[in-house]
Amino acid sequence: MNGRKSFGAKKGGRGAAGAQGKDGQRRPMFRRRKVCKFCADKIDDINYKDVKLLSGFVPERGKVLPRRISGTCAKHQRGLRVAIVRARQLALLPYAAD
């Protein structure tokens, strides 16, 4: 039993609707590569007064979305974070949800 405890289902399983092929082998998941919105639109500076743009990167809880979810590049993620912090200080964006 190699010292591990088993508590039911295995972790990471896909269940009945998994990515199985006809012969029972796994198919690779096709995931579209995320493109930085700011690079695609050629936006160099992110303005903290543009609340409409910034609110798309802040969910209801008030936290900044990470790069892996928002799809921004490292350079623009840093500028986005600074703009969100400045907008929060001026009460343009909330710190947390109500």
Q: Can you tell me the distance from the alpha carbon of 17 to that of 57, in angstroms, rounded to the nearest whole number?
A: 31
The pTM (predicted TM-score) of the whole model is 0.67
Percent share of the chain, pLDDT over 70: 77
Give residue 4's pLDDT. Answer: 60
pLDDT reading at 5 higher than 80: no
48/27: higher pLDDT: 48
Q: Encode 54-86: b = buried (16+ Cβ within 10 Å), e = exposed.
A: beebbeeeeebbebeebbbeeebbebbeebbeb
pLDDT, tens digit, 9 for 90 and up, residues 70-96: 999 999 999 999 999 999 999 999 988
Q: Which residues contact 64 (CB under 8 A, 6 or more apart)?
A: 57, 58, 80, 81, 84
> Could you give the count of Cα atoms lying within 13 Å of 28 in the half-sphere of its Cβ?
3
